[in-house]
Amino acid sequence: MTTTTNTDTKTDLKSLTKRELQSFCEELGLQSYRSDQIFQWLYQKGVSSFDEMTNLSKDLRSRLADLATVNRIEKVHHQQSKDGTMKFLFELQDEEKHKVESVLIPDFFPDGAPNRLTVCVSSQVGCVFGCSFCATGKMGFFRNLTHGEIVDQVQYINELCLEKYDKQVTNIVYMGMGEPLHNYQSVVESAAILTDEHGLDLSPKRITVSTVGLTKQIKKLAEERQPFNLAISLHAANDEKRDEIMPINNSMNLEQLKEAVTYYYHQLHRPITYEYLLFDEFNDTVEDARELAEIVHWVPSKVNIIMYNDVAGVKLKRAREQRLDQFMQELISHDVTATVRRSRGDDIDAGCGQLAIKEGQKGKTISKN
Ligand code: SF4
């Protein structure tokens, strides 16, 4: 794949996979270690110009500048919550100046030192799946991000973490704008860069990719033995309720999801995490908890019960504490490993898509395939 910038015919090096970067260097007659050096400058050191690649000769830097560019997303805005959560709005280097959001969720030890520094990244501008509770789903869909644009979000926030906490980002979750497995290639490639020893060198165990349940792609992850964790955004435990809030369930229902998840587990022997937003008087009854327990026992799995951040214009609301307690008790009585996740950053539009919508980004609807 040779992808070019929007402004001219130069190759954007960050749109190339590692293998494609090697071929690009081979075509220039460069020795193979040069490609590793360039990869390192792009993804470990996060430079945005060839002049900064100081271990390349001046002549080579100028040849590269004639043929290629290094695109980098730009931060346009950020907000910090009282609980330390930071939300970023980035502008992409395209003609439309599309914007995407990322979130840094820091956890601290009792003495105030940083523990986990989790980055939630976007994989698409907007989303085609239109889940009824989701701000991004209301925008429509614009385009997929390249793997370089996904890695850039992490790189930018990683630099900030090093400055602010003297510590590198520890965990990545693909749970921002967009459906990650609908942009399969870029997501897989970006995760490979984040775990590459010449990239950010993160453990694949620290990376989680979420999906609303794209069954074909779940099986593909298993066939390719992709090493990161899988999370499934479930949010309802029977087809009737899931159909109501997640249109994807009309074409890929829970029976099909069960088949894909079982296949995934038998290939990789890796447990699944289910994400379950708890909505008031919609999916928070004892019967819902029983149905959820059945799903969690399809294969070894756990569930995160998430207290919803209310979104303007959405009828579904955050469940009440008393119903949460009942729900959790029922899950525990069915031997389910369940954790309650409190929404972070309620005071800063931290629900995915809220900030981009505020900035006036509205899209179109296209095919879900
Ligand atoms: S929840 Fe995920 S898949 Fe559903 S509309 Fe939002 S971004 Fe898309």
What is the pLDDT at residue 342? Answer: 81
Q: What is the mean pLDDT of the chain?
A: 91
What is the pLDDT at residue 38? Answer: 97
What are residue 303's DSSP bridge partners? 274, 338
pLDDT higher than 60, residue 358: no
Instruction: Tell which one of 212, 274, 357, 366 to mutate to probe ligand 1, the residue whose CB is within 8 A of the most ligand atoms.
Output: 212
Q: HEC string of the chain? A: CCCECCCCCCEEHHHCCHHHHHHHHHHCCCCHHHHHHHHHHHHCCCCCCHHHCCCCCHHHHHHHHHHEECCCCEEEEEEECCCCCEEEEEECCCCCCCEEEEEEEEEECCCCCEEEEEEECCCEEECCCCCCCCCHHHCCEEEECCHHHHHHHHHHHHHHHHHHHCCCCCEEEECCCCCHHHHHHHHHHHHHHHHCCCCCCCCHHHEEEEECCCHHHHHHHHHCCCCCEEEEECCCCCHHHHHHHCCHHHHCCHHHHHHHHHHHHHHHCCCEEEEEEEECCCCCCHHHHHHHHHHHCCCCEEEEEEECCCCCCCCCCECCHHHHHHHHHHHHHCCCCEEEECCCCHHHCCCCCHHHHHCCCCCECCCCC
Nearest to 200 by CA among 56, 90, 48, 46: 46
CA angle 69, 71, 76 (to 5 degrees): 150
* Cβ atoms < 10 Å from Cβ of 273: 18
Q: pLDDT grade, residue 83 (50/70/90)?
A: confident
Question: 162 CA distance to ligand 1 centroid (A)?
Answer: 31
Question: 191 CA distance to ligand 1 centroid (A)?
Answer: 20
Atom of ligand 1 nearest to the CA of 178: 7
Residues with CB under 6 A from ligand 1: 127, 129-131, 134, 136-137, 177-179, 212
What is the pLDDT at residue 7? Answer: 47
Sheet with strand 338-341: strands edge to edge = 74-80, 86-91, 99-108, 114-120, 171-174, 207-211, 229-233, 272-278, 301-307, 338-341
The predicted-structure confidence for 128-152, as pLDDT tens digits, reads as follows: 999 999 989 888 999 999 999 999 9
The mean pLDDT of 59-71, rounded to a whole number, is: 96
Higher pLDDT, 368 or 208: 208
CA distance 334 to 320: 22
The percent of residues in the chain predicted with pLDDT above 90, rounded, is 84
Question: 98 CA distance to ligand 1 centroid (A)?
Answer: 18
Question: 126 CA distance to ligand 1 centroid (A)?
Answer: 9
Residue nearest to atom 7 of ligand 1 (CA): 178
The predicted-structure confidence for 9-33, as pLDDT tens digits, reads as follows: 899 999 999 999 999 999 999 999 9
What is the pLDDT at residue 355? Answer: 53
What is the pLDDT at residue 131? Answer: 95
Residue nearest to atom 4 of ligand 1 (CA): 131
Higher pLDDT, 85 or 355: 85
Cα separations in angstroms, 297 against 263, 266, 292, 293, 301 = 14, 14, 9, 6, 7
* Cβ atoms < 10 Å from Cβ of 2: 11
List 127, 131, 161, 352, catalytic entry: 352
352 is an active site residue: yes
Question: 342 CA distance to ligand 1 centroid (A)?
Answer: 19
Atom of ligand 1 nearest to the CA of 124: 7
Domains assigned to the chain: 11-69 (1.10.150.530), 74-358 (3.20.20.70)
101 is an active site residue: yes
pTM of the full structure: 0.92
Residue nearest to atom 3 of ligand 1 (CA): 179
List 25, 101, 120, 127, catalytic entry: 101
Displacement of CA 22 from its chain's centroid (Å): 27
